[in-house]
Structure 1
């Protein structure tokens, strides 16, 4: 199994296990405190668990090798899952914002109880969540997996509501204040919405076969232009599917040289691209330089 796949699977499994622990911990905290902020956090963790299970399923499906019906693999499942997560996160942000505004404007907020136990439970939740987010961020940075990145954003968004719950419990115990968490929840909702929009756009672009980022294309062009034996290139096409980059490129070679020599030049360019962008799917076409059109 490739290293990237193992890392993505480890992030998915860690997400599911963490979500299960958070649900159990917050169920206990809710029973102790009867806190609405803890209840909201519990509901969010329950939804996290469902999303984490879906993300893990998408990672497992995307890891399947190409077959007769999917010659380019199954990595588009990552984009579909990331797009679904983005929509879900946007909806969650709207619900959180609506609830926060309702709590801020309520005339008679519900009092809290057993605040100390609730603070301990929510602190443990933050530690577990932060450890998961750090691991997911590291995996996403190494593999480029959008599903892991979207899941990481979702859990990162949970940190502020958890902090808000702690502050609300503390403020309730010390000063009788119960509205503090609503303001923090509203800020968290805005952060979630902005992050989800970015992930959704990236996933949509990949599903629509949008070209790779300009800096990626520029680097590929530089590698092709400076590769010994290549006199020019044209028809460079790129797209992304999940965490994989696809490149299609025509290179212009001396038509009088042997096929072995031409193949060696193409293989050297392919290795140079793979060194810069590991895991890339590359197709290189050979054209004799005397018959080529646009030179670069």
Structure 2
């Protein structure tokens, strides 16, 4: 079994365990706040199963029908998880409104809070392990699932702290329960929207982050020289794999062999800074005006900006 896939199974196991604990806590107490916490665990389980599917697809090698691999399956998983989180938040608010209108006393709250804390401990240990794995395998699916679990930990901690007040507060404070549920729902929505935005960025071939773009520029200049001419620098990411392509301008008298050697060195320089990157370089003669076609290709250029400012952009 591939290691990233193994962590998805851990997430599913943790979600099943916490689901039982949290719904048990809600059944004991009747707290709508604990119900909201249990609902998020149900979403965690669905998200874990989506993550498992995405990772099983993403690890498949490239084939005739998917020459760039299957890495983008991870974005479908993280995006779907974001949507599920937002839907769960809506359900929490719906339950909280009913409790606002008809506040109810809570039963066996102490035992219920202990069960909720136990579930949070399970999620915390699982999320920590998954975050380490997400960095190791550069997986947005594992990161999304781990951050969702970690959000669950902190919202549960806030929930327990708030409901603990009701252990000593008068019955009139029962309205605190739905208030806490609404606050938790708002926090969950922020997490869900963030995951959806990142997933859409990946599906739309968003360029690599600024720090990685700087690393690519530095890698090119480290081999081709500080005055290297290049444009049409386009980047994207598909799962853990990065793709970089650009046009490199060299003297027209450069032999094919020398140009090839230069390109190999540039590729190695980029990969040394960004492991797992697939680099494609198109060589053009720097004396030819037609070579300065970055404005038509798009992407970034040697100046670090977009190719619209390159020589020939107005031609």
TM-score, with normalisation over the residues of structure 2?
0.80
**Inter-partner Cα distance in structure 1 for 2:176 and 2:276:** 47
**Inter-partner Cα distance in structure 2 for 1:118 and 1:252:** 68
Pick from 9, 12, 27 the counterpart of residue 13 of structure 1: 9
Q: CA RMSD in A?
A: 2.7
- 2:189 aligned residue: 193
The answer on 1:145 being equivalent to 2:139 is yes
Following superposition, the deviation at residue 234 of structure 1 comes to 2.0
Q: 1:34 to 1:92 in 2, by over 3 A?
A: closer
Counting matched residue pairs gives: 290
Kept in 2, the 8 Å contact 1:168–1:179? The answer is no
Q: Please give the secondary structure, in 2, of the residue aligned with 1:227.
A: helix
Q: 1:184 to 1:198 in 2, by over 3 A?
A: same
Q: Please give the secondary structure, in 1, of the residue aligned with 2:174.
A: coil
Pick from 94, 106, 109 the counterpart of residue 90 of structure 2: 94
Kept in 1, the 8 Å contact 2:234–2:246? The answer is yes
- 1:106 aligned residue: 101
**Inter-partner Cα distance in structure 2 for 1:135 and 1:142:** 11
Deviation by residue 1:93-142 (Cα, 9 ceiling, x = unmatched): 23323433443x324x2222222321221111111112222223333344
Q: Which moved more, 1:26-35 or 1:42-51?
A: 26-35
**Inter-partner Cα distance in structure 2 for 1:43 and 1:223:** 48
The answer on 1:83 being equivalent to 2:71 is no
Kept in 2, the 8 Å contact 1:232–1:252? The answer is yes
The answer on 1:248 being equivalent to 2:245 is yes
The answer on 1:281 being equivalent to 2:278 is yes
Aligned runs of 1:31-50 on 2, under 5 Å?
Answer: 31-50=27-46
Deviation by residue 1:204-251 (Cα, 9 ceiling, x = unmatched): 122122322344333322321331479422221112223322111222
* Unpaired runs of at least 5, structure 2: 293-300, 303-315
Aligned runs of 1:88-237 on 2, under 5 Å?
Answer: 88-103=84-99, 105-107=100-102, 109-167=103-161, 169-175=163-169, 176=171, 177-228=173-224, 231-237=228-234
Deviation by residue 1:66-95 (Cα, 9 ceiling, x = unmatched): 001000001111111122112222222233
Aligned runs of 1:46-85 on 2, under 5 Å?
Answer: 46-85=42-81
Kept in 2, the 8 Å contact 1:169–1:178? The answer is no
Q: Please give the secondary structure, in 2, of the residue aligned with 1:157.
A: helix
Kept in 1, the 8 Å contact 2:130–2:146? The answer is yes
* Unpaired runs of at least 5, structure 1: none
Q: Please give the secondary structure, in 2, of the residue aligned with 1:179.
A: helix
